[in-house]
Chain A
């Protein structure tokens, strides 16, 4: 109890201290970003196929760079449900060192790796005993992914794993190399992450992704309260397995180029203060209905008798201008729906196309998103 009180004290008082420098924010897409990862079944049935979709963007230059995207699966029910426990399973999948001649390749690599913006993994079997005392048994499959604006060094990775040259998490993952220099790419040019796929035998514990849009499948986004045209919603924003020319996507799924304020497109006045809070606030919000989204937290209800719902929140992104609130509460587990979930946007100085993203997540692995083409005039 005393330790909890100490944590509570720190939690309460540390926010009271503090100012710091203004640093780069996740919502301002000025470089390589992973916007989100969606699973078609956030809480899945055990030992079934689950597709993961990667939404990413590269705004470092005028045009997106060539990138490599990868997925590493093969990690089921790691000890303690911790992602750090995956590395031992990877090593097992890679097989034993082959007479020290590791440079020729990693024979087990294919069993783990995939490339592209989509990945299908097999959900983990449910454990025999609950991993978390007092809760229903679940399975957990952890999938790693990455986007490298350079060249991935797979050989080096497998060698490090096999030789036990893993000093920290950074070296347990593949390196992204600058193709020009062969050195490791800058941190901003490489994003590595993970996503958890929980599986439950009981169907009532499963979860669905949030639904963006109204009941008729119509309006999905509003700017200053006006319905605007959306570019894509959910899976539609993700590069398909193969593009029209039969090759995997190497750049983000293209956004229609806008040359002006076309009908239906969000049109926002430029601001001379260039994204400063003194600019007029523009209200951005996806259309979200509580009746389509709010789900009870069944496990908490059944096991602990706590009548709580999923927590839901929205992350906003823009590639120009600035956001006042880029992370907004949508549904609180205890107090319920928050209709005041808009983000406030301050327009940039320069006219031209603008992209806006909103990602809706819940705390049981669900995610969905919407992308908006807009124009600053």
Chain B
């Protein structure tokens, strides 16, 4: 007997395309019923939106399958067909359009279209907001000969089944589909019952791949063997995937930059030795040097810390760490991604010649989960927890919270509110008092973030953001600084900023996009010691970026944008002129008259840029561009042309590497980067007006090689040729003035061997070898730069042990920092500065002595408990496990005739507890 057969109703959606997106790949529809057999679909498993690591995209889910009517004439003729359709699934889940891609005739096309229009879906969502999408869909019209109603004798059959639990909580997960695939590709399906149990009987003996996928949980994929005549029982545990949301940390993001590196949120939160701080995890990437001590400085590819700028959604922020390095001003929980460009960044960025860190705050999470991520009901049948999510965390440094969810029922509007306050004042203040200090204001910091998003549909997004940070500390130290007693003892430190920001993204037409950011805020810096060293700044910056992208053709896109910064400022500075490297130590402040200036002004630094993303062939992508910057304070404009390119030497589909889907990509870039002088360098009192911008030429050339599905090797060489650097030179009066006489070079190679996260492990090996030099003027000798770090090797990994346990470690070996030694001059090492009562060392060649090699091991242990409606987790992060304090510099006796090593902090344990729902 013959009968028409269609494939399973489950939509094995493999590629989602938004309406403005690319052509969809195809899924198959067919017959209903658990355990039905189907041919698996091929194709990419990654949605293009997700590939950029931006929004969270959820594919539409088939909830009602409509079988087509087999055309009678075709059936009678024994004809079979495969009809491929592109269907449009609306925001309500209805199919509003169905188009046959390649007509096959014989009535199949009409039957497929008619049936497809009756399909029903759960709509696709992007960041929780329903979206209209177009997807591929297939109907297979086949005729099966039914030989017998009973299964044939199969003496080699066995069973596979078991239990599915929530990892940590050990709670059963009901209603979860289980997909089992045999060696030939045949698929068997089951679904867990109320007890989380499932079973497939009469399976041919042999190896099987079991896959379990459930929203809100990390996907599971395991190999199992079915033995003839036996029942194989397994217990699987799904780990909630809240921490699996991806944060993208990019070396440089294609296509407009040279290379790309991706770290997931799990990696960032679990890098040992960072306390889960996102920005600190950057210090484990190649090309980023280890900063001295606890300083949160970003030293990128041999550049000075001030050569690297940090943005929050495109707006520059003055500080990225509380108290110089304790923790980031933006908590990890609120990050969407971090774009990190160590060099050769696109024309979108300017005003610096080092690197760029652009932190994007996340869109509020409006997903509606059950207690364990299931969309409908909890295991006990209770109502869903809802669409609102919260988190609270407490560690040794601070406490924080996060609340987020939709505003109203439509999910068009959503919100997130977060805040953090340190509590170090409760123990550090008394400790300082016990040490003899008079604490006026114990050290405290807080930060806050408010986000309101409107997601009006594809290509139409509005986000209102307000965030800020405040650090305060004031104490009178009754033991003045030995080298500068004239400063006094009143140390005050305060930094605060807040910014209101509007982000607007709009598809003006299918070929034109608009991306705009405007930020208005206030920056306040207040630093002083005893009134004799003071730096007070109040600034009201207005920053803006607006970029319009034009799709010229399928292979070219032209971007043009403006990037401006202006605002009023008031500043008071009282300080000595810092000596330049190699300059005789001018001695303590009391033997010099301090410089002081108070002024108000208006800063104005606009820039215009344009670039072309051109992909002339499938393998080649070229991005030429140019940027013009103007700085009102220096009175100069800079033109910065840049060119980045990538060439896919081997595409995964080439099968070149032993038939494996591995790619090989060459990448490179060259570009000019200009950095205006710092404000004080053009100030009439502290600096020299009208000096020009620092300039650097960046060259980069590298290769990326996939070694397996999980492992990627990236090797990149870079060279920076700096000139026109602002340097201090002798002036007409014999004093020092600023001029553009400096130059420098940085050359290095970065290597990254990375194991991308799977359900158990992630890790990488990063090694950078580099040399950074500077020359104050052509007449002076080239010397090593203060932040030069020849070798930097980092090996880290983290492994999930199961039952909520995870353990990780990071090992680092880094060249020691450079120091300027005191001259080992026979008979005299220092001068006695009688007016201060202290000694002034006679210094040798600047940064000519390197401290011993730094090495240490950090270990992190995490444990998570899953309860019915919330999750509890805790961590122990131990820095410097084997207590090998870093050598940060020299300490000297009072007259510099004896010296020893100043060492860093010993073993530092840190612990934290977090609850979230």
Query: Which residues in A have some Cβ–Cβ distance to B below 8 Å?
Result: 1-10, 12-14, 16-21, 23-26, 34, 36-37, 78-85, 131-135, 138, 145, 168-171, 173, 175-176, 184-188, 190-196, 198, 297, 300, 303-306, 308, 311, 313, 315, 325, 327-329, 331-335, 338, 340-341, 359, 361, 363-365, 367
Shortest Cβ distance from residue A375 to the other chain B in the assembled complex, whole angstroms: 26
B827 with A313: CB separation less than 8 A: no
Q: Give the complex CA separation of A18 and B531 in angstroms.
A: 26
B477 with A329: CB separation less than 8 A: yes
A192 with B735: CB separation less than 8 A: no
Instruction: Apart from A6-B297, A193-B832, list 17 A-B contacts with CB within 8 A.
Output: A8-B493, A9-B296, A13-B324, A20-B902, A25-B894, A80-B736, A82-B584, A82-B586, A132-B593, A132-B685, A170-B842, A192-B828, A194-B591, A308-B532, A315-B837, A334-B490, A363-B486
B530 with A79: CB separation less than 8 A: no
Given the known inter-chain contacts A14-B888, A81-B592, A194-B834, please indicate yes or no for A334 contacting B530, CB distance below 8 A.
yes
Closest B residue, CB atoms, query A196: B591
A23 with B893: CB separation less than 8 A: yes
B905 with A16: CB separation less than 8 A: yes
B903 with A20: CB separation less than 8 A: yes
A10 with B894: CB separation less than 8 A: no
Q: Give the complex CA separation of A328 and B894 in angstroms.
A: 16
Is B26 among interface residues, defined by CB-CB distance under 8 A? no
Q: Give the complex CA separation of A36 and B297 in angstroms.
A: 40
B894 with A365: CB separation less than 8 A: no
A184 with B477: CB separation less than 8 A: no
B323 with A80: CB separation less than 8 A: no
Is B570 among interface residues, defined by CB-CB distance under 8 A? no
Q: Give the complex CA separation of A352 and B15 in angstroms.
A: 92
Q: Give the complex CA separation of A8 and B685 in angstroms.
A: 20
B904 with A18: CB separation less than 8 A: yes
Looking at B28-36, B287-295, B404-412, B777-785, the stretch in contact with chain A turns out to be: B287-295
Top 4 A-B residue pairs of the complex, sorted by shortest distance between their CB atoms: A79-B734, A193-B832, A80-B735, A333-B531
Is B19 among interface residues, defined by CB-CB distance under 8 A? no
Given the known inter-chain contacts A17-B292, A193-B831, A195-B835, please indicate yes or no for A6 contacting B888, CB distance below 8 A.
no
Q: Give the complex CA separation of A305 and B587 in angstroms.
A: 27
Residues of chain B lying within 8 A (CB to CB) of residue A169: 584, 831, 842
Given the known inter-chain contacts A170-B825, A333-B490, A361-B485, please indicate yes or no for A12 contacting B837, CB distance below 8 A.
no
Given the known inter-chain contacts A26-B895, A311-B532, A334-B488, please indicate yes or no for A329 contacting B829, CB distance below 8 A.
no
A13 with B835: CB separation less than 8 A: no
Looking at B38-46, B122-130, B360-368, B595-603, the stretch in contact with chain A turns out to be: B595-603
Is B537 among interface residues, defined by CB-CB distance under 8 A? yes
Residues of chain A lying within 8 A (CB to CB) of residue B325: 9, 13
A9 with B295: CB separation less than 8 A: yes
Q: Give the complex CA separation of A19 and B587 in angstroms.
A: 24
Is B525 among interface residues, defined by CB-CB distance under 8 A? yes
Q: Give the complex CA separation of A81 and B893 in angstroms.
A: 27
Residues of chain A lying within 8 A (CB to CB) of residue B528: 334
24 inter-chain pairs at a CB distance below 8 angstroms, sorted by A residue, are A3-B680, A4-B573, A9-B324, A17-B886, A23-B891, A23-B893, A80-B734, A131-B593, A134-B595, A135-B595, A168-B842, A170-B842, A171-B825, A195-B834, A304-B572, A325-B478, A327-B480, A329-B477, A329-B489, A333-B488, A361-B836, A363-B486, A363-B488, A367-B834
Query: Which residues in B have some Cβ–Cβ distance to A below 8 Å?
Result: 292-297, 304-306, 318-319, 321, 323-325, 436, 440, 476-480, 482, 485-490, 493, 525, 527-528, 530-532, 535, 537, 572-574, 578, 584, 586-587, 589-598, 678-681, 684-685, 730, 733-736, 823, 825-829, 831-839, 842, 885-886, 888, 891-895, 897-906
Q: Give the complex CA separation of A248 and B440 in angstroms.
A: 52
Q: Give the complex CA separation of A243 and B458 in angstroms.
A: 97
Q: Give the complex CA separation of A194 and B625 in angstroms.
A: 57
Closest B residue, CB atoms, query A333: B531
Residues of chain B lying within 8 A (CB to CB) of residue A16: 293-294, 905
Residues of chain B lying within 8 A (CB to CB) of residue A329: 476-480, 488-489
Given the known inter-chain contacts A188-B897, A334-B530, A338-B489, please indicate yes or no for A303 contacting B596, CB distance below 8 A.
yes
Shortest Cβ distance from residue A231 to the other chain B in the assembled complex, whole angstroms: 20
Residues of chain B lying within 8 A (CB to CB) of residue A338: 476, 478, 489
Partner of A168 from B292, B823, B904 at Cβ < 8 Å: B823
Partner of B834 from A2, A82, A193, A364 at Cβ < 8 Å: A193
Closest A residue, CB atoms, query B679: A1
Residues of chain B lying within 8 A (CB to CB) of residue A332: 476, 488-490, 530-531
Q: Give the complex CA separation of A163 and B530 in angstroms.
A: 45
Residues of chain B lying within 8 A (CB to CB) of residue A10: 292, 295, 297, 324
Shortest Cβ distance from residue B484 to the other chain A in the assembled complex, whole angstroms: 10
Partner of B734 from A85, A187, A305, A335 at Cβ < 8 Å: A85
Closest B residue, CB atoms, query A183: B826
Residues of chain A lying within 8 A (CB to CB) of residue B826: 184, 187
Given the known inter-chain contacts A6-B305, A36-B834, A190-B827, please indicate yes or no for A335 contacting B893, CB distance below 8 A.
no
Q: Give the complex CA separation of A26 and B904 in angstroms.
A: 24
Closest B residue, CB atoms, query A299: B593
A1 with B537: CB separation less than 8 A: yes
Shortest Cβ distance from residue A162 to the other chain B in the assembled complex, whole angstroms: 20
A194 with B490: CB separation less than 8 A: no
Closest B residue, CB atoms, query A365: B835
Partner of B595 from A132, A185, A195 at Cβ < 8 Å: A132
A17 with B900: CB separation less than 8 A: no
Q: Give the complex CA separation of A338 and B488 in angstroms.
A: 11
Closest B residue, CB atoms, query A342: B478
Q: Give the complex CA separation of A297 and B482 in angstroms.
A: 22
Closest B residue, CB atoms, query A173: B828
A190 with B828: CB separation less than 8 A: yes
Residues of chain A lying within 8 A (CB to CB) of residue B827: 170, 175-176, 184-187, 190
Residues of chain B lying within 8 A (CB to CB) of residue A308: 531-532
Residues of chain B lying within 8 A (CB to CB) of residue A196: 591, 835
Shortest Cβ distance from residue B576 to the other chain A in the assembled complex, whole angstroms: 10
Shortest Cβ distance from residue B288 to the other chain A in the assembled complex, whole angstroms: 16
B833 with A335: CB separation less than 8 A: no
Shortest Cβ distance from residue B434 to the other chain A in the assembled complex, whole angstroms: 14
A134 with B903: CB separation less than 8 A: no
Residues of chain B lying within 8 A (CB to CB) of residue A135: 593, 595-596
Closest A residue, CB atoms, query B588: A363
B837 with A304: CB separation less than 8 A: no
A18 with B902: CB separation less than 8 A: yes
Given the known inter-chain contacts A8-B324, A79-B735, A187-B828, please indicate yes or no for A23 contacting B898, CB distance below 8 A.
yes
Residues of chain B lying within 8 A (CB to CB) of residue A132: 593-595, 685
B531 with A306: CB separation less than 8 A: yes
Partner of B480 from A21, A191, A313 at Cβ < 8 Å: A313
Closest A residue, CB atoms, query B736: A80
Q: Give the complex CA separation of A23 and B834 in angstroms.
A: 21
Given the known inter-chain contacts A23-B900, A135-B596, please indicate yes or no for A170 contacting B295, CB distance below 8 A.
no
A4 with B680: CB separation less than 8 A: yes
Closest B residue, CB atoms, query A189: B827
Closest B residue, CB atoms, query A303: B596
Partner of B593 from A85, A138, A171, A173 at Cβ < 8 Å: A138
Partner of B479 from A1, A325, A359 at Cβ < 8 Å: A325
Q: Give the complex CA separation of A25 and B535 in angstroms.
A: 32
Q: Give the complex CA separation of A20 and B899 in angstroms.
A: 9
Q: Give the complex CA separation of A207 and B575 in angstroms.
A: 21
Residues of chain A lying within 8 A (CB to CB) of residue B597: 133-134
A4 with B532: CB separation less than 8 A: no
B593 with A300: CB separation less than 8 A: no
- Name, among A10, A304, A313, A325, the residue most crowded by chain B CB atoms within 10 Å (CB to CB): A313
Partner of B318 from A5, A26, A175, A186 at Cβ < 8 Å: A5
Residues of chain B lying within 8 A (CB to CB) of residue A2: 305-306, 678
A17 with B888: CB separation less than 8 A: yes
Q: Give the complex CA separation of A171 and B532 in angstroms.
A: 33
Residues of chain A lying within 8 A (CB to CB) of residue B525: 1, 5
Closest A residue, CB atoms, query B590: A363
Residues of chain A lying within 8 A (CB to CB) of residue B532: 308, 311, 333, 363
